[in-house]
Amino acid sequence: MKCVLAGSNVKAFGKAIHALSRVGEDLWLDPLEKGLAVRSVNSSRSAYACFLFSPLFFQHYSKVTTQQPLDEGDVEPVLKCKLTMKSVLPIFRCLATIERNVERCKIFINFRDSHVVFQFSCRHGITKTHNLGFQECESLQAVFPRDMCPNVLKAQARLLGDVVMHFPVWQEEITLAVTPVKVSFRNYFEEETDLTKVMHTEISLNPDEFDYFQVGVDSEITFCLKELRGLLSFAESTGLAVSIHFGTSGKPVAFSIDDMVLEANFVLATLIDTESQAASPKRPHRGTLLQSLAVMTQPTVPLAGEMELAELARTGHEGSIAMETSIPELPQALDREAELVISSQGSAIFNGKAARESVIACHWSEYGVGVHMDQIQEEAVGVVPATIGHNKVRTGCFYNHGSSHGDTIKQQDHPYFVNQVQLLRRGWTKVLCWNGVRGIQVSRLCLKGFSGVPCSSTHCCWRSPPSSVERMPWCCPAWCVPVTTRRSWRKERRSPARTLSLS
């Protein structure tokens, strides 16, 4: 593995290391196709943290270190290595100094000498090289189908920072309680604590304060605040929003940050609520991630014996993979025969074809528009898996293939990566795309456009979104839809905006 970080990204990387250091004592480095995954897990296996930096975060990124052809029969091992936090953290300890002095940081794995090398090119021609010994290890991954969680909250990091500010630094655990009308955080004490001596703090928030609020089931989960603080301070410093996916008590909670160039996931186990236990009242104990996840994992996934977390070697298969949608009414379009590749980000495993079918089915049932399935598939240009690349799970790839919209669409073969697909009311979809260079572009598509059917509606595609919309953040599976270029979008904006009524 070899990568080069430049400028302010070195500081962001350092901040991520700081956040991971709050979780565990070891750091796992896992170079993947889709980027560099840096992970940590705590000793009791009740907290898992992962940062995935996409290749765009780096000036240069390659999964393999050597480009030379190997000897016959040899496969260059894709090296996963484990470093101690004690050795890595001091390198990134003083972020202010790094910001001031370091121009570039090169990280590569020298597997001959069993070292991970961090090389800082600093101002005044100074180069600092740190050689850290590593241990080879198996991949560390947490299996957590985030999209199956009934409760999803998304908030700006500032909001969460304001909440945890009310709890003292030494507060170990807090309880998050949600109902459809209220969200509250309160501190949690073990049973042995003398309740007459400690101060109880509770903060309640209105659901309006969240960027996204979905409560499928009322629940109260208790998790460790200390481990989370690392992620919250990372989010605050980078200004990104944090999503929280969780279910009932006992099931893990996932805190994630998604950005174009990086993703972070912190999965924490929650305390099992003893009151709901039937016979023997047990002391509340923290369910391990394994226990909590046992229910959720696919039957075809072998759980490796004694291991607390399912540690699976990546197979790198690009074939069709199973996905489950979070829409309960839909039939599960799972492709059971497929090789299950667990995303290291903990997001749902994925079947492009089934997803497309099920999503479209959803649209149809919700909006009452009928389009024949075959027609859709005929019109839509097949997705070429090889082009999906590192954005496979989270994003998809758009090609425009000639559109009837009548606008100039340049760069016919230029892929646009989909960042987010938002379903608006009345059959409209907002698609946020990014072409790898120029930043976010927005397309609004009607249902037909969404499915790849040529659309003659003048509203389609070009309206800048109105201010209040109903949002449903989605992982966008890969399919093809026509998309406008930035220029055409800008052109359209100049004409007086006709607001779309969404009532």
Partner 1 sequence: MRFRAKMIDIGCFNHFTRVVNTISKLTKTCTLRLTTDKLYFILSDKVANGGVSMWCELSQGNFFDEFQLEGVSTEHNEIYMDLAAENLSRALKTAHNAKSLKIKLTNKHCPCITVAVELPSLSRVSRVVTHDIPVGVIPRKLWNDFKEPSVPDFDVSIYLPPLKTMKNVVERMKNLSNFLVLEANLNGEMNLKIETDLVSVTTHFKDLGNPSWGDNGSQDSTQDRDPETMMDVKVDIRKLLQFLAGQQVNPSKVICNIVNKRIVHFILLHEDVSLQYFIPAHE
Residue of 339, 369, 350 lying closest to 476 (CA atoms): 350
| Contact stretch for partner 1 (CB under 8 A) within 140-148, 203-211, 427-435, 436-444 | 203-211
Owner of token pair 């082009």 = 387
Q: Is residue 108 classed exposed, middle or buried when 0-12, 13-18 and 19+ CB atoms within 10 A define those classes?
A: middle
> d(Cα 233, Cα 435) in Å, to the nearest integer?
30
Q: How far is the CB of 283 from partner 1 (least distance, A)?
A: 19
The strands making up 60-62's β-sheet, listed across from edge to edge, are 60-62, 2-6, 102-110, 115-122, 127-133
Which of residues 71, 72, 208, 275 is near partner 1 by CB under 8 A?
208
Q: Considering the complex, state which of residue 189 and residue 367 has its C-beta at the smaller distance from partner 1.
A: 189
Q: How far is the CB of 185 from partner 1 (least distance, A)?
A: 9
Q: How far is the CB of 158 from partner 1 (least distance, A)?
A: 9
275 touches partner 1 by CB under 8 A = no
467 touches partner 1 by CB under 8 A = no
239 touches partner 1 by CB under 8 A = no
Q: Considering the complex, state which of residue 171 and residue 288 has its C-beta at the smaller distance from partner 1.
A: 171
Tell me which residues in 408-427 interact with partner 1 (CB under 8 A): none
Q: How many residues does the chain have?
A: 503
229 touches partner 1 by CB under 8 A = no
| Contact stretch for partner 1 (CB under 8 A) within 205-213, 297-305, 424-432, 466-474 | 205-213
**β-sheet bridge partners, residue 265:** 50, 256
Q: How far is the CB of 186 from partner 1 (least distance, A)?
A: 9
240 touches partner 1 by CB under 8 A = no
159 touches partner 1 by CB under 8 A = yes
| Contact stretch for partner 1 (CB under 8 A) within 94-102, 126-134, 207-215, 477-485 | 207-215
Q: How far is the CB of 469 from partner 1 (least distance, A)?
A: 17
Q: Is residue 435 classed exposed, middle or buried when 0-12, 13-18 and 19+ CB atoms within 10 A define those classes?
A: middle
196 touches partner 1 by CB under 8 A = yes
Measured CA distances, 101 to 16, 132, 148, 412 (Å): 19, 21, 45, 43
| Contact stretch for partner 1 (CB under 8 A) within 42-50, 192-200, 255-263, 266-274 | 192-200
Neighbours of 237 (CB within 10 A): 15
Q: How far is the CB of 165 from partner 1 (least distance, A)?
A: 6
Which of residues 69, 168, 281, 368 is near partner 1 by CB under 8 A?
168
> d(Cα 189, Cα 174) in Å, to the nearest integer?
8
201 touches partner 1 by CB under 8 A = yes
Pairing assessment for the beta strands 151-156 and 212-215 based on DSSP bridges:
antiparallel
Which parts of 346-444 fold into alpha helices (H)? 352-367, 373-379, 385-388
205 touches partner 1 by CB under 8 A = yes
> d(Cα 465, Cα 452) in Å, to the nearest integer?
20
